[in-house]
Structure 1
Amino acid sequence: MIGAGAVGAGTAWHLARQGHTVTLIDPSLDAPIQRSNDLDQSLNGTTASLGVLMGNVFRRSSGRAWRLRQRSMELWPQWVERLNHPESPLQLHSSLIQLASDPVEAERMEALANQRHNLGLESFSSVSTESHPVPWPNPGHGGLLSKHDGRIDPLALQRALRRSLKAEKVGLLPARVTKLHRTSIGGENRWHLELGTDRTIDCAVVVLCAALASALLLQPLGHDYPMEAVLGQVLDLQVSAPSKAWDHWPAVLVCNGVNLIRHGNNRLWLGATLEQGEEPSTEEPAIMRRLDGLAPHWLQQAEVIDQWHGLRARPSGQPAPLLEVLEPGLILASGHYRNGVLLAPATADWVGQQISVFIGL
């Protein structure tokens, strides 16, 4: 396994539970699981993310993207139950509210709620009612409540996975893979990995979950899967909101594509993945805080306690994620863009199926 974000670590854990011998390779494996205070440093996708799970509110009702989301939403409760431990507690936080940006979107949300009432979706109007209280001073055009979507803390997830990987005897190798190529050992085809530590590894199967680095490793093999960096920023805000502002606050509130997540007393994370390239815009945080004119006064006046940014890998010219068997024993499971945490269980499940086919189980 190459890459130890939510997808890579989760897949390694899943494969080990299936009885496979697994080694997880990533230079970050010897570093503490935390967010850096260095504002000039980009975090990896999982560490930078807010862990939002938007599976049931996805607009399409068919196709691979929908099936992956539904499979993950089915598997996440099982994953949390197995990963949760007193040393690394883990839980799902529900629910999620999306505010409509205009009347047309409100109509679409209402139609979606009618189609997916069995998945816990309900629409609400611009007026807060006893049955649909809205934790927002100006719900505008109404919106959508998803009872089973929400979030999982990505740092808690990584800690739980790290503990469980060790419990499953997964090899954890803090190194960078610089090259891979096919070789033959005793007449058997193997993959030869060269590491930045001058060490080499030979294995039967390679699973690439290394985001932007995946494309660089594949190019010398003749596999062209370009990905572009998309940057997201998060502000950690200390707010002086009226106490009633927190009434009925969901795990995630989404307004104009920006996620607002309460944590602690009068603390709020506000973030979105919005920018092309690898350098954060100095103007974007102020734009996010305005929420296109819907932000209440107490949010605009909030004090910034901390902030960070991270990069997501978005496939160029192809839908995310990239799930492909490129050659016998070479599996690409990368480019999840904004849905790495959400799709980690479904991706691990898919990889496990491909390996079972490869080894003839």
Structure 2
Amino acid sequence: MIGAGAIGAGTAWTLARQGHPVVLVDPELAQTPERHPKTTLTGTSASLGILMSYVFRRSSGRGWRLRRRSMELWPQWADALHTPGTPLKLHSGLVQLAASDQEASLQRHLAEQRSALGLEFLPPDTLQDAHPDWPSCRYGGLRSAKDGRVDPLLLQQALRQQLQQLNVTLEATRVEQLQRGQGGWVLQLANGNQVAAKQVVVCSALASQALLAPLGHARPMEPVLGQVLQLQLANAEHLSSQWPAVLVSHGVNLVRHGADQLWLGATLEPGTDPDAAAAERLRSLEGDAPRWLGDCKDVGRWHGLRARPSGRPAPLLEVLEPGLILATGHYRNGVLLAPATAEWVSEQIDASGHQKRMLTDP
């Protein structure tokens, strides 16, 4: 396994639980998952851990199937990863505010279609009672009882703890080169070690390109930077008991943090350098922010990079050639799609092993 974010570590954990011997390689394994405000973070560490599945507008296609399957698997993941030392849990409840009458109409229609999946449309008066002084509430909003968030740092800590218990080999270094070998693959590591494997799963986001290109597999991805603001409220009463796990307004996620803080994120910026003005625009919510949000004190911020596939839909889930599996480029949905991605990779490995046994049986 190359890459130890939510996708790589989650897939390694899944495979190890099934009895596969696993080696996980990533220089980030040398550090405890945390947020460094002045450092460009990897996608998972920078993420807010939003699980936005059932409010997804499309009702067919691979994107919908992956989202729905992940949300079916997430409760199992949370239960299996929860320990006293890593109390991982799902924070359920997401409200997406409508930005216009037209959007409200689309939300009503989606709520009718997916009422059995926990969706309901909240009329303006209901929202205004829960969130007074919010201009965006004037159109109503869509509530999902099952969507929400999970703490991405706690997720990584829980996965690493269980990977060690499952005797997964953790290589805290970089893969310099991926080569075809006799009956499999050879990973040349920056620390001078080599790893030989019959199956290699590449989950290293933007770094995947340099490993795959020499093998003749062009899978270009572009960096999209995201910034998050951490705000201290002057009056904690604005965060009522009815505040959901995630409140979404004009594409901005507002996540309650503790009794009197909010996280706002994330920006969508091309390139790798954060723009201070883009971060400040998060507060405005396109002019629909309540007045008290502008009075909040900025007590922190961080930023990270997501890998967005160029010319292809996210994510990149492909068997490039026998024994070489690509599972990366999840863009903004790495945490959400980790369970479904891990399941897909497991299925490809099982199918490959089954086919090999069939070919060698007398």
Partner of 1:19: 19
Structure 2 CA distance for partners of 1:219 and 1:288, relative to 1, 3 Å: same
- Cα distance in 2 for residues equivalent to 1:78 and 1:26: 26
Cα deviation, residue 159, structure 1: 0.7
Partner of 1:278: 272
Aligned-partner residue type, residue 30 of structure 1: A
1:48 aligns with 2:53: no
Of the three residues 346, 350, 359, the one matched with 2:344 is 350
- Cα distance in 1 for residues equivalent to 2:130 and 2:297: 27
Q: Give the aligned length.
A: 354
Tell me the secondary structure at the aligned position of residue 234 of structure 2: coil
Of residues 143-152 and 233-242 in structure 1, the stretch that sits farther from structure 2 once superposed is 233-242
Structure 2 CA distance for partners of 1:273 and 1:129, relative to 1, 3 Å: closer
Cα deviation, residue 73, structure 1: 0.3
- Cα distance in 2 for residues equivalent to 1:308 and 1:291: 19
- Percent identity, aligned pairs only, is 56
Deviations 1:275-312 (A, max 9, x none): 11111111011111000111111111111111000000
Cα deviation, residue 241, structure 1: 3.2
Q: Does the Cα contact within 8 Å between 2:133 and 2:291 map onto a contact in 1?
A: no
Aligned-partner residue type, residue 88 of structure 2: L
Q: Does the Cα contact within 8 Å between 2:201 and 2:327 map onto a contact in 1?
A: yes
1:241 aligns with 2:260: no
Aligned-partner residue type, residue 55 of structure 2: V
Cα deviation, residue 136, structure 1: 5.8
Q: Any gaps of 5 or more consecutive residues in structure 1?
A: none
Q: Any gaps of 5 or more consecutive residues in structure 2?
A: 358-362
Tell me the secondary structure at the aligned position of residue 246 of structure 1: coil
Q: Does the Cα contact within 8 Å between 2:239 and 2:256 map onto a contact in 1?
A: no
Q: What are the within-5 Å matches in structure 2 for residues 51-130 of structure 1?
A: 51-128=49-126
Structure 2 CA distance for partners of 1:135 and 1:25, relative to 1, 3 Å: farther
- Cα distance in 1 for residues equivalent to 2:19 and 2:171: 19
- Cα distance in 2 for residues equivalent to 1:242 and 1:350: 43
Cα deviation, residue 244, structure 1: 5.1
- Cα distance in 2 for residues equivalent to 1:134 and 1:66: 30
- Cα distance in 2 for residues equivalent to 1:136 and 1:190: 61
Aligned-partner residue type, residue 246 of structure 1: S
Q: What are the within-5 Å matches in structure 2 for residues 245-264 of structure 1?
A: 245-264=239-258
Of residues 271-280 and 315-324 in structure 1, the stretch that sits farther from structure 2 once superposed is 271-280
Tell me the secondary structure at the aligned position of residue 331 of structure 1: strand
- Cα distance in 2 for residues equivalent to 1:136 and 1:110: 23
Deviations 1:9-40 (A, max 9, x none): 00000000111000100001011111113x2x
Tell me the secondary structure at the aligned position of residue 40 of structure 2: coil
Tell me the secondary structure at the aligned position of residue 99 of structure 2: coil
Structure 2 CA distance for partners of 1:145 and 1:136, relative to 1, 3 Å: farther
Structure 2 CA distance for partners of 1:266 and 1:137, relative to 1, 3 Å: same
1:137 aligns with 2:116: no
1:191 aligns with 2:188: no
Report the structure, 1 or 2, having the larger helix content. Answer: 2
TM-score where L is the length of structure 2: 0.95
1:36 aligns with 2:30: no
Q: What are the within-5 Å matches in structure 2 for residues 309-324 of structure 1?
A: 309-324=303-318
Q: Does the Cα contact within 8 Å between 1:273 and 1:338 map onto a contact in 2?
A: no
Of the three residues 174, 180, 183, the one matched with 1:182 is 180
- Cα distance in 2 for residues equivalent to 1:99 and 1:171: 45
- Cα distance in 2 for residues equivalent to 1:109 and 1:299: 26
Structure 2 CA distance for partners of 1:91 and 1:162, relative to 1, 3 Å: same
Cα deviation, residue 351, structure 1: 0.2
Kindly report structure 1 stretches of 4+ aligned residues shifted beyond 6 Å: none
1:154 aligns with 2:152: yes
Cα deviation, residue 242, structure 1: 5.5
Cα deviation, residue 88, structure 1: 1.1
Deviations 1:126-179 (A, max 9, x none): 22269x844663313111000000000001101110111111111111010011
- Cα distance in 2 for residues equivalent to 1:196 and 1:242: 49
- Cα distance in 1 for residues equivalent to 2:113 and 2:187: 48
- Cα distance in 2 for residues equivalent to 1:350 and 1:197: 31
Structure 2 CA distance for partners of 1:326 and 1:129, relative to 1, 3 Å: closer
- Cα distance in 2 for residues equivalent to 1:89 and 1:164: 13
Deviations 1:206-258 (A, max 9, x none): 00000001111100000010000001000111012361542300000000000
